[in-house]
Amino acid sequence: MSLLVPGQILLALVVATICFAIGGLNPATIVGRSRGIDIAHVGSGNPGATNLGRVLGKKWGIVVGVLDVLKGLVPTFIVLRTLGIWVALLGGFACVLGHIYSPYLGGRGGKGVATSLGAMAVVIPWAAVAGLAVFLVTLPFVKRLGDASVMATLFLALAGVVVAARADSTVDRGVGVWLVLLSLVVLARHRRNIAVWLGRLTG
């Protein structure tokens, strides 16, 4: 499968814009307001499933987490089936960026873990399953969802490097690079968790 030709670039940008807008929809904020709270001003202030779960209970956290996964999964799946892998990579990445830099919340969104998982489940399913497994295995040891997310994302970044390095085709190489970039974006949103770890190691 060839890369995008110039005539497809405008269509790809339109798709990316739509996916960004979809990713920007924030279920945690919507559910929070329906329950009479402003999620941006309670708990950690992060408009994501983890913070909402702490404030409203595990059930609502799970509901929002599933919706965040679907934000990445459904648009990426539709684009993959209709426009192919390269536009799907762009669309999935745009969904995650929309979640993190929500245009409806003044550019401040969640950390992108669940939405990334949804996009990965379409593009590279084994990585999504492996990342989830790393998260579940490390959670009892690190105790915090954010820290377990960092461990899983680090694993996925390394997996992306391996995929890109061992790829036999342009598509596989592109998927590997996409996985690395997606992981780096999510890790950047967890920089406080990483800073705490580094502080413990150096302190």
Residues 147 and 199 in one domain: yes
Q: 46: helix, coil or strand?
A: coil
Mean residue pLDDT across the chain: 91
Query: Higher confidence at residue 197 or residue 167?
Result: 167
pLDDT in tens, 17-52: 999 999 999 999 999 999 889 898 888 888 889 899
Residue 46: what pLDDT? 85
Provide the residue range defining the domain that includes 199: 124-203
* Domain final residue pick, 112, 134, 163: 112
* Domain final residue pick, 62, 80, 112: 112
pLDDT in tens, 126-140: 999 999 999 999 999
In a domain, 117, yes or no: no
In a domain, 37, yes or no: yes
Distance, in Å, from the CA atom of 134 to the CA atom of 58, rounded to the nearest integer, reads 21
Residues 132 and 199 in one domain: yes
Residues 98, 51 contacting (CB under 8 angstroms):
no
Query: Higher confidence at residue 63 or residue 10?
Result: 63
In a domain, 118, yes or no: no
Helices (H), 84-169: 85-100, 113-123, 125-142, 145-166
Q: What's the number of domains the chain is made of?
A: 2
Residues 136 and 180 in one domain: yes
Residues 24 and 85 in one domain: yes
In a domain, 119, yes or no: no
Residues 142 and 71 in one domain: no
Residues 119, 73 contacting (CB under 8 angstroms):
yes
Q: Which residue has 């377990």 as its token pair?
A: 148
Residue 6: what pLDDT? 65
* pTM of the shown model: 0.90
Model confidence band, residue 193 (pLDDT cutoffs 50, 70, 90): confident
Residues 132 and 203 in one domain: yes
Say if residue 184's pLDDT is above 90: yes
* Domain final residue pick, 112, 133, 166: 112
Q: 102: helix, coil or strand?
A: coil
Residues 86 and 162 in one domain: no
